[in-house]
Amino acid sequence: MDAATETLRVDIWSDVVCPWCAIGKANLDAALGEFAHSDKVEIIWHSYELDPTAPAARQGNYVGMLAKKYGTSPEEAQGMIDRMTATGVECGVEFQFDRVQPGNTFDAHRMIHLGAARGIQTQVKERFLRGYLSEGEAIGLPEVVERLAIDAGLDADEVAAVLTTDAFADEVRIDEATAASMQVTGVPFFVFDRRLAVAGAQPAEVLLRVLDRVWSEREPALDVLIEGEVCGPEGCD
């Protein structure tokens, strides 16, 4: 493989208010910890808004919001929460659903793109996931977006400039248009090496098998079986 093909790219569409996205990330991290070529993996985060029309802040508890969104009873919604909480514990993700403050995630996604431009995309992604799902941050509010982005390591002046303009809005919309073109209807959604897709928060062992498969199927290095007389810059043998 040449230098360009040595990197195994993993593109991930997700939203920062998505519990299964946090679980999927944790499982991918665990898989990478067992993957022999993890130093060759490049993670690219892409925007996906579960509710693009959401207000900056929304009143009501998480149980009620889920029940309304999916047309279920409060008891069924609580069952969904209990399942996500238990799965989170298994993979080391602590959810605090009683503290969740739903809101619009568009600005958070713009900050994640700013993070990509500054080489700290994953750190910014992690900060917003943790802020919303574990710390009860109202990540649709500009002042909260600003604080979390700075916490993640972004420059305060740059963050403020992005929030007062439409910077990185096109990048968010392009990500979402790409997801739509691939008929993505839920997240997380992983694309390995631009050719193999995995939908949903799969267990770490499944993601590890995918990583191993994709790596093994890549074009191998040229193997010279027989050598003979040749001519080169210094003459002929």
pLDDT, tens digit (0-9, with 9 covering 90-100), for 132-161: 999 999 999 999 999 999 999 999 999 999
**Res 206 pLDDT > 50:** yes
pLDDT for 225-235, tens place per residue? 666 666 655 66
pLDDT at 6: 83
Across all residues in the chain, what is the average pLDDT? 93
Could you give the residue ranges of the DSSP H alpha helices within the chain? 19-34, 62-70, 74-90, 106-117, 121-133, 142-151, 156-163, 169-181, 204-216
Percent share of the chain, pLDDT over 70? 90
pLDDT at 59: 83
**Distance (Å) of CA 229 to CA 209, 232, 233:** 43, 10, 14
Percent share of the chain, pLDDT over 90? 85
Confidence of residue 86 (pLDDT cuts 50, 70, 90): very high
Task: Work out the average pLDDT over 113-136.
Answer: 98
Place of tokens 């490049």: 42
197: β partners: 191
Confidence of residue 192 (pLDDT cuts 50, 70, 90): very high
pLDDT at 52: 96
The CA-to-CA distance between both ends of the chain, in Å, stands at: 28
Q: Please name which of 184, 172, 195 lies closest in space to residue 16, comparing C-alpha atoms.
A: 172
pLDDT at 60: 82
**Res 171 pLDDT > 60:** yes
pLDDT for 7-42, tens place per residue? 999 999 999 999 999 999 999 999 999 999 999 999
pTM metric for this prediction = 0.90
190: β partners: 12, 198
Q: Which CATH superfamily is domain 8-216 in?
A: Glutaredoxin (3.40.30.10)
pLDDT at 223: 62
pLDDT at 4: 47
Task: Work out the average pLDDT over 77-104.
Answer: 96
**Res 1 pLDDT > 60:** no
